Amino acid sequence: MTQQQQIPVNTLHLFPTLDALLIDLLKSLSNEEWHQQTIAKQWSVKDIAAHLLDGNLRTVSFSRDHYFTDAAPVIHSYCDLVNYLNELNAVWVNAAVRLSPQVLIELLELTGPPFYHQLQQLPPFENALFAVAWAGQKESPNWFHIAREYTEKFIHQQQIRDAVGRQALFTKELFYPFIDTFMYALPYTYRNVPATTGTIITVKVQTEIGGDWSIIKSAEGWEFTSDITSTASATISIDPDTAWKLFSKGINPEQALQQVEIAGDLLLGSTALNMIAVMA
């Protein structure tokens, strides 16, 4: 078995496909659609395209060119990190209002390949430069960093598709690795939830593009389990459209509660609705 086959969530090969779909999508938009409001709070479709460009440029700058800004932020907490990233994103998006849609498309086409090339250079099991904080990690392997980058590109393109009424990225090839990566936030979501050792929580994302993920309470905390012989104390069933919106903070748990089914312990199961797999 090769190292590539052993990667828990292999997303690297999907970036060219996702980028090509994005470019085709953006080229199809009318001027009105470019300025359509999205589920991403204050961002329009054009703002999200600019944010995706920022991600490409930043990655190439620090990964290929080893270039970092001189002013290192003072980060004492998760909240500090979120505030810093929000400010970083806002500065770029605000500046990009002067860029035309065509310029954004051209720059995304130009920067997508070198972004992908830099990800290809990362040894999958070595430590990534940036940990996946939303999963509670202080150090993360590169394969998880790459999967996190995949979810970023997936979620932002999906936000655009949702805003302009285009076909969602709901295929097994593209959606399953996205939601599989997001589920790494599940044990961390339950970290402060007390339960009897052996308690199992299961999240089911419905339809053929989804799957089942279970965590169990051990003496050390909550961890994933493949034990399907024990009955879960709570099972949460959620459709793909609600899942991507909820876990990226596009909708809140109260809104999602109307769309999900929770079997078993309602209080224990509803904790899963607080899972956030983005920096927010």
What tens digit of pLDDT does each residue of 146-197 get? 999 999 999 999 999 999 999 999 999 999 999 999 999 999 999 999 999 9
Same domain, 33 and 103: yes
Identify whether residues 225 and 159 lie together within a single domain.
no
- Mean pLDDT score, 256-274: 96
Do 156 and 49 lie in one domain? The reply is: yes
Note the pLDDT of residue 268: 96
In 3D, which of 240, 263, 128 has the Cα closest to residue 183? 240
Mean pLDDT, all residues of the chain: 93
pLDDT over threshold 80, residue 85 = no
Any domain includes 174: no
- DSSP-assigned letter for residue 200: E
**164 and 60 part of one domain:** yes
Residue 195 belongs to domain with CATH number? 3.30.1050.10
User: Does residue 162 share a domain with residue 65?
Assistant: yes
200 within some domain: yes
Per the structure, how many domains does the chain have? 2
Which band of pLDDT confidence, cut at 50, 70 and 90, is reported for residue 229?
confident
- 233: containing domain: 184-274
Do 193 and 70 reside in the same domain of the chain? no
Hey, what are 78's tokens? 């998760």
Task: Report the alpha-carbon distance of residue 85 to residue 279 in Å, rounded.
Answer: 8
CATH of the domain at 160: 1.20.120.450
Q: Are residues 57 and 157 in the same domain?
A: yes
| pLDDT score, position 142 | 97
Cα gap 186→166, rounded to integer Å: 29
Nearest by Cα to 44 from 29, 56, 33? 33
Residue 75 has pLDDT above 90, yes or no: no
Residue 5 lies in a domain: no
